[in-house]
Structures are given as C-alpha cells and as structure tokens.
Structure 1
Amino acid sequence: MTSLAGSSILVVGASGGLGSAIARILAAEGAILTLHGRSEEKVRALAVPGTFVKSDLRDSGSDVELVNTALRAHGQLDGVVNAAGVVAFGPASDADDETLDELFAVNALGPMRLLRAARPALLESAAAKRDPFFLTLSGIVSESPTANMAAYSASKAALAAFGQAAGRELRRDGIRLVDARPGHTETGLATRPVAGTAPTMPTGFDPADVARRIVDAIVAGEKDLPSGAFTPQPAA
C-alpha cells in the first residue's frame, strides 16, 4: 500500500489514546475513516473527519454493525485498525469471572469476530488490488507475559496467536494481517483498569510516535511489528 489516499479504513477504539493518534495520521494522509467508540462525544472531540459508529465490542453483532457502517458510508473497506482494549492488574488468583470475561471479550474475542465480519469486504478490496489489511495490537505482554497482569497478558497472547495463524490463511486471499507489539505507551489505559491498580511504571512511549510507526508499517507493507520495532525503548 504505497498510499493511504482514498482508502476506507475502520478505526476501532478511535477515542483511545493510541487509536486517536492513529486516526489523526490516517486522516492527514488522505484515508477515509469510520471511527468507532463507546462515547460519541469523545470521538467528535477529535475533530477528525469520518463516519462515527457507537458500539460495544462485548455485544453480539457489534462486529457486523461496524463493518456495515463503513460499507454504507464509503462503499468499500480496505483496512481495519483494532486499537480497542481493556487492562486489569493484580494477582492471577484474584481475577474474578467478570474481569476475565471482559478481558477476553474485548481483547481477544472482539478482534476475532471483527476479522470474521470484515473478511468479505477485505476480499473485495484485494480483488480490486487495494492491498487490504487488518491490524491488531497485542502489545509487548504477548511476547513477555507479566506478573500481576497474568489475565491481561493471556488475553493479548491469545490475540497474537490468532493473528499469526490467521495471517497465514489470509495471505492466500491477498489480505495482510499486521500485529503491533509496542511497549508501555502513555495512552492513559493504565489509569482505567477494569480491576486492580496499576503499579508504578516508567515513562512509556509517546502515542504519537507509536502511531507514526504503525502507519508507516501499513504503508510499507510490513506484517509484523515486534516490541523491538519501536525505538527508542522506554526507560527501565
């Protein structure tokens, strides 16, 4: 994908710290956006042109709704950026069912269902030689599961494993699956855990820098962005 101009891209989690940064860069480079969030007010406040869709990834049918909104608005779908996610902290033995269910529903099952829903439209994009992609953010914890974040790490590792296998399948269809695994990034997510309290963390990456690296990878045709692809590394 040598240019994003005119590409129809769905950004899931566009109101988040990283999703909003990605959306701004995509818009600046000419992409036509469908912006998802659970708060219309927050998405509108981004002042990024696009079609808004409100949806909860935990709800049945939300995946189809997201894809259909993009298709109705723009007539095609050439890419999906899944930047939605939730986090939880605390010992593995303390994680209750509600926390486990939410972590896996949003971080793992949501993207899996979204890929399933988006595949027919992405196949059409591939047939039209528009180099479609589906981007996930499994993060550094999928490479290095972290103590006191065991359930969160597991949900992201599940997403990474799914992406590796699905990417091999989709390659035959002309659809590129990209997984990005940046280290801790200052998105504010750690201040909004679904359970527990975040430990003291070193200063993380600037979301704008991570977003720039991700968009550059989309344009350059990259398929994998391990933690080492994001430099410089945050201070220890």
Structure 2
Amino acid sequence: MDIAGSRVLVAGATGVLGGALTAELVGRGARPVLAGRDLGRLAAAASALQDAPTVVFDAYDPSSCARAVHAGAARLGGLDAVVTAFGSVAFGTAEEVGDDIAEHLMAVNALAPIAFFRAALDVLEPGSAIAALTGVVAQRPQPGMADYSASKAALSAWLRAVRGEARGRGVQVLDVRPGHIDTGLADRPLVGTAPPLPAGADPRQVVAAVADALSTGAELVRTTENGAAVVERRDR
C-alpha cells in the first residue's frame, strides 16, 4: 500500500499508541479518519491534525464498529486501510478474573476489532490493508493474564484465517504483536495488578514499523527481547 495519499481509519486514535500511529501515518502523507469513544478527546486529536474527520464507536457494541467504518469511508470517499489500536487488560488468575471480565475482554479485544474488519472487507479495494494490534501474548499466553491472552489470541487466529481469504482479493492483513509497550494501559486494568513487566518498547519504533509494514505488504510486526521492532514479510 502506498501510504502517501492513502485514506486510513485508525480505531483507538485517541490512545497513546493509536495517536502515535496516526501521527506517523500523517507524517508519511496519509489522510486519517479518527475513530474513538470520547467526543472530547476525538475533538482534541482532530484539532491537532488540521481537523481530521472523526467517527464514534463503542467497543462493546459491534454494530457501532461497523457503522464507524462505513461512516469513515463516506467522509473520505473510500478507505485504503483500517487499523485497530485499542483494548482492555485484566490481571489475575483465571478464578480471580471471572466470567464477566472475561466476556468484556473478548468483546473489546476480539469481537470489536473483528467487527471493524468485517465491515472493512466490504469496502476495501485491492491494494488496501487491515491491521490490528494483538501483542506478544497472542503467541505466548502468560500466567496471570489468561483471559487477556485468550482474547488477543482469538483476534490473531481470526486474522490468520482471514488472510488466506483476503490474499486473493489483494487485501493485506497485518498482525502487530509487540511485547510490552509503556502506554499506561497496564496501569488501568479492569481488575488486578500488573505483574513485574520488562522495560516497554518505544512506541515510536513500533508505529514506524507498522507504517513500514503497511507500505511493503508485510504480515507481521513484532519486537525482539531488547525492544527493537521487526517487520516480517510472512507470518509463519
């Protein structure tokens, strides 16, 4: 995908990572649609980006996610990429987390992004892309984070299956699986307390790698043990 001039919807654009990714894409010439939940934060983010168009969604309402995609496409006359960069986290053993929190995590971390992408596949043309922030836990589930890991793994599995469907249509499917990034999310869990975490990867390196991956048709972004972001052509 050629980022210069591309029309990109970023869901979660008011968050730390989503905001950084939006700025990176705009710096490379993209035209963004900012999607978020909080009207005030959306307005502030849009103001900083020359009044970029905005759409509202509720991650606990999949139909609102689909509407956001169609509204974003209408605002820009189409979309070339849809990226999700939002989520919730919870810490604790499986019995401590419980069913209600597990349901919330699955809804926000898996079903909401899937709703964005299902709608995106209706409007995207060949040469376009979908991309999601899943995280290393999608590949290496962690004790004390079972339900969070499961929600991210569910999204990652969906992306891998859909990649096979989308490839023939010329739509790139990018899975972004960084390790811990210091965005403040771990300080705002639904329940529990974060365990000791390694030093967070630099968000700027991660979003630069995401932009590189989008521009080269790559399938995976990950971080190494020292926090360096790596782009891989194929998700093996």
Fold equivalence (TM over 0.5):
yes
Is residue 58–residue 65 contact of structure 2 (8 Å, CA) maintained in 1?
A: no
Structure 1 residue 230: deviation in Å?
Answer: 8.2
Q: What corresponds to 1:213 in structure 2?
A: 209
Amino acid at match of 1:33: P
Amino acid at match of 1:57: A
Structure 1 residue 63: deviation in Å?
Answer: 2.1
Say how many residue pairs are matched: 226
RMSD of aligned alpha carbons = 1.7
CA distance in 1 between counterparts of 2:225 and 2:212 reads 12
Q: What corresponds to 1:112 in structure 2?
A: 114
The answer to which of 162-171 and 51-60 deviates more is 51-60
Amino acid at match of 2:49: V
The answer to which of 59-68 and 107-116 deviates more is 59-68
Residue correspondence of structure 1 range 62-81 to structure 2 within 5 A: 62-81=64-83
Q: What corresponds to 1:19 in structure 2?
A: 18
Q: What corresponds to 2:178 in structure 1?
A: 182
Q: Write the deviation string for residues 73-106 of structure 1: whole angstroms up to 9, x where unpaired.
A: 1111110111011110011111222211110001
Amino acid at match of 1:31: A
CA distance in 2 between counterparts of 1:202 and 1:63 reads 33
The change in CA–CA distance for 1:7 and 1:66 in structure 2 (over 3 A counts) is same
Q: What corresponds to 1:45 in structure 2?
A: 44
Identity across aligned pairs (percent)? 40
Three-state SS of the structure 1 residue aligned to 2:169 is coil
The change in CA–CA distance for 1:220 and 1:65 in structure 2 (over 3 A counts) is same
Q: Write the deviation string for residues 127-157 of structure 1: whole angstroms up to 9, x where unpaired.
A: xxxx100001110001110110010000011
The answer to which of 42-51 and 132-141 deviates more is 42-51
Greater RCO, 1 or 2 (C-alpha within 8 Å, sep 6+): 1
Q: Which runs of 5+ in 1 are unaligned?
A: none
Calculate the TM-score normalised by the size of structure 1: 0.90
Is residue 209–residue 221 contact of structure 2 (8 Å, CA) maintained in 1?
A: no
The change in CA–CA distance for 1:195 and 1:231 in structure 2 (over 3 A counts) is closer
CA distance in 2 between counterparts of 1:191 and 1:180 reads 21
Amino acid at match of 1:26: L
Structure 1 residue 114: deviation in Å?
Answer: 1.4
Residue correspondence of structure 1 range 1-236 to structure 2 within 5 A: 1=1, 3-46=2-45, 47-49=48-50, 50-122=52-124, 125-126=125-126, 131-228=127-224, 231-232=227-228
Calculate the TM-score normalised by the size of structure 2: 0.90
Q: Which runs of 5+ in 2 are unaligned?
A: 230-236
Three-state SS of the structure 2 residue aligned to 1:61 is helix
Structure 1 residue 231: deviation in Å?
Answer: 4.5
CA distance in 1 between counterparts of 2:222 and 2:163 reads 15
Structure 1 residue 207: deviation in Å?
Answer: 1.1
